[in-house]
Amino acid sequence: MEPLWTHTTVLLKEAVDALFNNPDAYPADSSAQEGTYVDATFGRGGHSRLILSRMSPQGHLIAFDKDLDALAEAATIPDPRFSIRHQGFSHLGELDKGSLAGVLLDLGISSPQIDNPERGFSFRFEGPLDMRMDTTRGISVAQWLETVEVEKIAEVIRDYGEERFASPIAKAIVARRQERGPITTTSDLAQLVADTVKTREKGQNPATRTFQALRIFINAELEELQQALEASLQVLQPGGRLVVISFHSLEDRIVKQFIAKYSKDEYDRRAPFAAPKVMQFKALDRIKPSAAEVEANPRSRSAIMRVAQRTAG
């Protein structure tokens, strides 16, 4: 029997409340939520199931996920109002313009992905150095590290992991590759980083930033986030909500800057008398997990949820 890796959904009620203009509405109410919503990262379906419980019979929920295990979990939801796409949320823009009442993006990685050694996401477990969200496409981290130049490795670890020892780590990876062959397991990489990085923040594994960087890069996570945010401008109807949960500063900075950019009127300095381009989002809220949630689920401690509403602009 295969082990069961569980996932605790972060900011579950808060995210679904924020997604709906009327968070207290339930199907039994005349004001129950209608329209089409998107759960852009299905995961194990925590948010999707609560969204469906709040919807009227006329509502529709579209989910996206690249992970085959997530698709298998989605198949257990026998609800005609629900459908899922085996795609990343960068494909959000393929939906009809102005067709959505709300979009939820729960970024990052799920607990089952981290805790399953075969996925290669964690330095805590021995496993193949893979890290792909979608194992049917692309190349693994191990395959990428086999041939890439030291400068590119350093760039990725520095830019996506905010790792100040990026250059020594990159040089150690290439030296190991030349001396003993490529790195193929998570434990090999974790040990190499630990041997290279002599100082680290208290309580943090030396490999944390390197693993984060390689995962983000190999899955093009930040580029996909940018594409999805830009697509939300087209697919959300006026009054539609954008809810984004991020788990590290790189993600949150992108979300914060995107909402700020489109939450103000833009004036063309070259044409001072022209009408301004009116704002397209209204920033509504910034929410962090409660102390009780962090105590019950320590993996939620870094989460930040930002909420914005599409205007008529």
213-224 pLDDT per residue, tens = 999 999 999 999
3-state DSSP assignment of residue 11: coil
Task: Identify the CATH number of the domain in which residue 212 sits.
Answer: 1.10.150.170
Is 129 within the bounds of a domain? no
**Same domain flag for 99 and 225:** yes
65-75 pLDDT per residue, tens = 999 999 999 99
d(CA 309, CA 235): 12
Q: Lowest-confidence range among 17-21, 181-185, 255-259, 273-277?
A: 273-277
**Same domain flag for 254 and 208:** no
Residue 25 clears pLDDT 50, i.e. is over it:
no
**Same domain flag for 281 and 205:** no
**Same domain flag for 66 and 142:** no
Query: Is residue 309 within a helix (H) or strand (E), and if so which, with residue range?
Result: strand 304-310
**Same domain flag for 72 and 104:** yes
Strand pairing category for 281-287 and 304-310: antiparallel
**Same domain flag for 27 and 107:** yes
Q: Nearest 5 degrees, angle CA 64-CA 15-CA 112?
A: 55
d(CA 115, CA 25): 36
**Same domain flag for 185 and 239:** no
38-49 pLDDT per residue, tens = 999 998 889 999
**Same domain flag for 211 and 233:** no
**Same domain flag for 24 and 72:** yes
**Same domain flag for 206 and 228:** no
What pLDDT does 193 receive?
A: 95
Give the pTM: 0.89
The parent domain of residue 46 ranges over: 12-111+221-310
Is 119 within the bounds of a domain? no
